[in-house]
Structure 1
Amino acid sequence: MTEEPFELINGIALAYMGDAAYEVYIREHLIKKGMTKPNKLHRIATHFVSAKAQAFLIAKMEKESILTKTEQEYFKRGRNAKSHTTAKNTSVLTYRISTGFEAVFGYLFLSEQKQRLKELADWCIGTIEKEKNNFG
């Protein structure tokens, strides 16, 4: 089996990887804050990982010019990818934007940009903790 270069991976596959990578940062953050009950962990984690939260974060990133040009390209690749799944509890547009968000994290993970991945995850966590009442 040969390894697929991350540059050639489609937006949906990047989002699949990015969803998992971002989720690990969120789970680690919550557990380090002392949360250990699974139901509470899941409920609080949704503040960070829901499609609405991710769309909110992308809008803030765009407004504050957080993403590099390359990251913006991977966002668009994920956002514009044809998905065969449907949005749950959100609009199709919000779902597509969140897919783009996850594609950025997938790109960073697969290109082994660990420091940048952590930097963006930390920014997202801080932003959600400050502004979680502004979305959802």
Structure 2
Amino acid sequence: MTETEISSLSVLSLAHIGDGVYELLVRTHLVSSGISRVDRLHKESIAIVNASAQAKAAYAIMDKLSEHELAVYKRGRNARVNSVPKNTNPACYHAATGLETLFGWLWLREETDRVKQLFTIILETL
């Protein structure tokens, strides 16, 4: 996608892409760490891919973000969502949406090295 096309996407579209990217990174990490039982993979991934854990992840990388990355994160965090799941609080949900937006934006810009760099920082906080 071109920069113009990426810029024209809605925040929640970027977050949707970022959600998939983040999930794939987590699953890849878990499988490469030697976990082979599907039930355990599922349990471990759920512990990492949820609003609370993603909010913690967002805070872990906050001071590592460029000015532009921080603006993208804030755009996602401040996006208006129709509903917040009952199992989380709005602040965590919005922070998680910001993280997903950032990962989606970076992925579509083909900045995979940066995605991996940020994910490595996140893994260190888990």
> What's the TM-score once normalised by structure 2's chain length?
0.90
Shift of 1:47: 2.7
AA in 1 matched with 2:53:
A
Among candidates 83, 88, 91, match of residue 90 of structure 1: 88
Structure 2 equivalent of residue 116 of structure 1: 114
- Identity within the alignment, %: 33
1:10 & 1:97 partners in 2: Cα distance?
A: 17
Structure 1 match to 2:22: 22
> Which consecutive unaligned segments of at least 5 residues does structure 2 have?
none
Tell me the CA shift for residue 93 of structure 1.
1.6
> Runs of 4 or more off by more than 6 Å in structure 1?
none
Contiguous gaps of at least 5 residues in structure 1: 129-136
Determine helix, strand or coil for the equivalent of 1:89. coil
1:1-136 correspondence to structure 2 within 5 Å: 5-62=5-62, 65-128=63-126
TM-score of the pair, normalised by structure 1: 0.84
State whether residues 30 and 41 of structure 2, in contact with CA within 8 Å, keep that contact through their aligned partners in structure 1.
Answer: yes
- Structure 1 contact 48–125 (Cα < 8 Å) conserved: no
Deviations 1:58-108 (A, max 9, x none): 22223xx11111111111111111112422410012111100010000000
Aligned residues: 124
Q: Partner of 1:86: helix, strand, or coil?
A: coil
CA RMSD of aligned residues (A): 1.6
1-side partners of 2:9 and 2:86: how far apart?
25
Any conservation in 2 of the 1:74–1:103 contact (CA below 8 Å)? yes
In 1, the alpha carbon distance for the partners of 2:43 and 2:86 equals 16
